[in-house]
Structure 1
Amino acid sequence: MRTALVLTLSLLLLAGCETYATTTAPQLPTLDPHAPALPTRTPLPPTVPPVTLTPSPTPEPTAEPATQYYQAGLQAFGQGRYSDSLFNFTQAIRGDPQNALLYLNRAQVYLARQDYDGAISDFTQVIKLDPKNVVAWVSRGQAYAAAEDFEKAIHDLDQAIQLSPGEPSVYVNRGQIIQASGDITQALDSFTQALTVDPNYAPAYYQRALAYVSDRPAQQLGVDRRVVDDLTAVLALEPWNIEAYLTRAQAYVDGGDLDQALADYNLAVVVTPDNLEPLLKRGRLYYVRRDYQAALDDYDKALELNPESIAALHDRGLVYFEQTEYDKALADFTAILRLDPENLDALIERAHAYDKKLNREAALNDLKQALALAKTPEDKARVQAEIDRLAQ
C-alpha cells in the first residue's frame, strides 16, 4: 500500500516556501476518562519539505503553440485545476519534447494528483535531458518515498547531495525520507549534516527536534532538552513559527512541565491570534488543570473563528459537563451531530449528559446508535460497557 506522504512541492519556478509538517500522535491520559486529551505530536513526516534549490538553467519553451500551452498549464495549476493543467503541459510537451522544464512541471501535477508513477516517469525524463538537475533528483526521490520505495528514494537524494553538497535542504529532505523508512539514527545524522552546511537553517533544527521526539525512550522522565533546544533555535531564527511553539509546548507536556507548555501556547496565540489550533490546545491544557473558565474562553474564541469546529464544540461540551451545565453540554454535542451524524464520541458524550439529566431512554438510544456505528472491536466494547452501566 502506498503511503500517505503528501508531497507539497510547488511548481519548479515557484518553489521556495518551507513547510514544517506534523501529525497527531496517540493521546495522553488526562484527569478523567472523558477529558479532552492534551495534544501530542509525532515526528514521522507526513510531508517532505519543498525543494528550495536554484534549478538548472532549463529554458522556457519558445516554440508556438508550446509556450501558450505552458502558460495555460501554469495558470491552471495555480487555480487547482489539475486536469486542465495536465492537458496543457502534455500539449506543450508534444510541441517541445526536448524541454526538461515541461516534464518537470507536469510531474508536479502528477504529484498533486498523487499519481506517483506518472511523476516518477516525468522526473526520470527530466534527468535524462538534464542529468545535473538537482530538483529533479530530489523530487523523484520524494515520489519514490510516497510510493514507499525508500531504497530508490534515498539513492536519488544521495545523488542530489553529490550534485549540490552545499545545499542544506537536500540533507533535510533525505533525513525525512530516511526517518519515514524507520531509521531514526541515520535521519538524525542527515539533519545534523544540514546544520553543518548551514548552522542557521531552521528546517533542519525543526526536523531534528521531531526526530528526537521519536527517539525518546518510553520510560524517560522529564523534559527532553534535545527537543526543546532545537525548537528554541528555530524560534530564534523564525519567531513567527507557530509549529515550533506548538511542538515545544508538547515537549514540555511530555516532560510534565505544564507551566512552560502554557507559556508556549500563550506565545502561539499571540503570534497567530486567529489560528484555531493554539486556542484548542491551550483550552485542553486549561481543562486538564481544571481552569474551566479559561478553557471556555478559548473554546468560545475558537468558535467565533469557526462556528462549525467539531473539536471546539466537543471540548466545550466536556467543560460544560464538568461544570454540571448539562443543558449546554447537550446543546454542543447535538450541534456536533448535526454537522456529523455519525460522530461516535458526540453520541457517547451526549448519552452521558442525558444520563445526568435522568433521561435514561435518550441516553440508551444514543448508545445503541453508537454501537451500530462502531467499527472497531475496541469501540464496540467501549460502547457496550456504557450500555451495561446504564442497565445496572
Structure 2
Amino acid sequence: MTTPDPLDPLDLLGVDDLLTEDERLIRDSVRAFTDRHVRPGLADWYEAGTFPVRELAPELGKLGVLGMHLEGYGCTGSTATEYGVACMELEAADSGLRSFVSVQGSLAMRSIHAFGSEEQKLRWLPELAAGQAVGCFGLTEPEAGSDPASMRTRARRDGTDWVLDGAKAWITNGSVSDVAVVWAATEEGVRGFLVPRGTPGFTARDIPGKLSLRASVTSELAFDGVRLPAGAMLPLARGLRAPLSSLGEARYGILWGTVGAARDCYRTAVQYARDRVQFGRPIGGFQLTQAKLVEMALELEKAYLVAVRIGRLKDEGRAQSAHISFGKLNNVRTALEIARSARTILGANGITTAYPVLRHANNLESVLTYEGTAEIHTLVLGEAITGESAYR
C-alpha cells in the first residue's frame, strides 16, 4: 500500500493535477515573470497610482501572453485553458496587470483579429503581440455602462470618410494606447473603428482619484469631429454582437484571474497565521482563525474547479455565454470574500502595502462591476434557467 502524498495547504484537492504539462509550464513561466518584473514594484506603483506600461509591455510580449489565444500575426495560438492559467498568475500579482493583458489581447487585438481587414491585421497585430504598441477598447460611456445599446458616440459618413463624435469612459490603457478600438452608432448600426494616437480631435485623459486598480491606467476618451478614412472601419463588425463577443473573451480571463487574486490572499493569510504569535502561540492555532482559513480553502478550490471546467468547455468549443457569466459571478464574488477574510486575519497589518490583501480587495471591487456587473450576470443565468429575459 502506497503512502499518499502530504496535502498541499494551498491546494487541498490537488486541482493543479488537472492541468496538463504545457499548462503547468505556462503557469510557472508567468509566475516567475511576475516574481521578477512585477511584484518588487507593485506596492510603490499602487501607492503612487502608476503603472509602467511602456516598460512592461515589451516584456509581456516576449513572455508571449499578449493575444496568446489568437492565431497568427505574431500570436502564439494557445488554448483557452492555457490563456486562463496565464491570467490566473497575472492577477495573483495584481488585477491591474491582468487587466492590461486582457484589454490588449482579448478586447483590442481580438476585435482586430475577428473583424478587421487583412491590412488592419498586418498593421497592428504583430506590434500589439510584441508589446511594441498598446491598444484599448472603447465601448463604455459615461451614460452607457450595462446598456451599451444606448451609446451616444456617433459616426457619420462624409464622402468616403467617417466623422466620429462622442466620449468613452473607464477605458483601461486609454491614455497610453497607440490605437483605440472605438465602437459608435451609425445609420448602419453599431460599427467599430480604429483610431490611432495623435488623430486630430482625439484626446485621452486619465481618471483621477481612483481607490481601486491604482496600478492600472484608466482613462476617458473624447472624440470631437475625428475624421477617419474608410479603411479605419472594422469591415466585419456589424451590430453590438461584435463588441460583446470580445467582452466575452475578456470575461473569461477574469474568471481565471480572480482565482489567482484569491489564492494570493489565502497564501498570505496562511503564512501570517503561522508566523504571528499572540497569547504565546501562533494565531493559526486558534479555532476561529482555522475556521476562516478552512472556509477560504473550500471556496478557493471550488472557484479553481469552476475555472478549469469552463476552460475545458471552451477548448472543446462548447462554452456558452451563460458559462462565462457563471464563472465571473461566482469567482469574483468568491475572491472578494477571501480577500476580506484574509484582511481580518492580518489585523491592522492587512491594511498596509506591505501585504497584498487589501490591494487585492480594493481591486476586486472594480472587477466585481466591470465587464458585466453581478446583477447583469445574474440575469444572464436567470434567463438560461427560466428561458425568460428579465433585462427590461
Q: TM-score, normalised by structure 2?
A: 0.23
Q: More helix per residue: 1 or 2?
A: 1
| TM norm structure 1 | 0.23
More strand by share: 2
